Amino acid sequence: MATSIGFGILGAGLVSPFHAKAIQASKGGKLLAICDMAKERADKMAAEYKVKAYYTFKEMLADPAIQVVNICLPNHLHRDAVVQAAAAKRHVLTEKPPAMSLHDTDEMITACKKARVKFGCTVQCRVRKSIQAIKQAIDSGRFGTVLHADAYMKWFRSIEYYQSDAWRMSRKSGAGVTVQHAFHYIDLLQYLIGPARRVQARMNNLAHPGIQIEDTVLAFVEFANGAQGVVEASTALWPGTDLRIEINGTNGTAIVTGEKIHTWKFRDEQPGDDAIRQLGSASQATAAGGATDFGFLDHQVVIQDMIDAVREDREVVIPVTAVRPTLEIVLAMYQSAAKRRAVSLPVKDDESAWEWKG
């Protein structure tokens, strides 16, 4: 096998171990370092995975063996880290959302393009076999005209979860349920159906008093292709139930619960449909009741693709350019909730939309 692709992880928070496990389980990837400005956290994770600890990003970028950097920082810190990594000619995988503004996202895309490095986003739910089956069915026309595309995420997070890090209590840092948790499932709708043209949203804090963020969002989405949809997401609903994605068309309906196909019905039954109905596992946790209650296999697919993309010099499977429209929908939701009216896309960045008015 060719020389391994060296990885460094920036940030030793809750999501970092999923990246670490996925890198170690990959074919051709090698985890070399963990970087966190909190020395204790960096040392602890580095010891667990038997890799080097760095305490500044500059030090880690100086390591010539590191070819790919996984950005696992709080959401508002992604932009600076990505730009620094690109300047150092390192390929980048950033956690979602790519950034907290369209301007920052565009700067990151430009920096990576100029440096000729790969730039992917870890919206790993896209690669699930159940989602890929729906995508193929949409692209082949099996749904007919898609009429509805909905995402329901009725989760629970304790008050202690939000208090565990200062950034988790700040909307401007990206801690609200819409941009932090529901981003994955808004992204699935955008990936499957396409961009939106109009959004109307309402946000509330139902169960986390004293935390200045929304823990619940209800949104109506009109897609550019004429479909409509609902996004209902919360971290207030104990004990938390599996997410649900529903796609309805004139000729078919598909529903995914967690990562498993729940419903797969089409007017034109095809030979492979029975096998598709078995996709996914009902026992695989998908973070409904806890921040770390999920597996790393989806991350592994995205990381394996980065390894292969570097070796083959091709685009990654989920480039940030393909996730930018999701961020725009999310920003439109915040602006709609703040203005208490529907918002048409495209939108411009509006920092005032992050202010929590309760």
Q: What is the CATH number of the domain that holds 193?
A: 3.30.360.10
The confidence score (pLDDT) of residue 69 equals 98
The confidence score (pLDDT) of residue 333 equals 98
214 and 193, same domain (yes or no): yes
174 and 43, same domain (yes or no): no
208 and 244, same domain (yes or no): yes
| Distance, CA of 13 to CA of 180 (rounded, Å) | 14
Domain count, the chain: 2
119 and 130, same domain (yes or no): no
209 and 340, same domain (yes or no): yes
137 and 271, same domain (yes or no): yes
| Distance, CA of 249 to CA of 145 (rounded, Å) | 5
| pLDDT beneath 70: ranges in the chain | 1-2
Query: Domain range holding 333?
Result: 126-288+325-354
The confidence score (pLDDT) of residue 2 equals 65
Residue whose structure tokens are 């960045």: 349
Three-class SS state of 323:
helix
Range list of β-strands (E), the chain: 5-10, 29-35, 52-54, 68-71, 91-95, 119-122, 146-154, 196-204, 216-223, 228-234, 244-249, 252-257, 260-266, 343-344
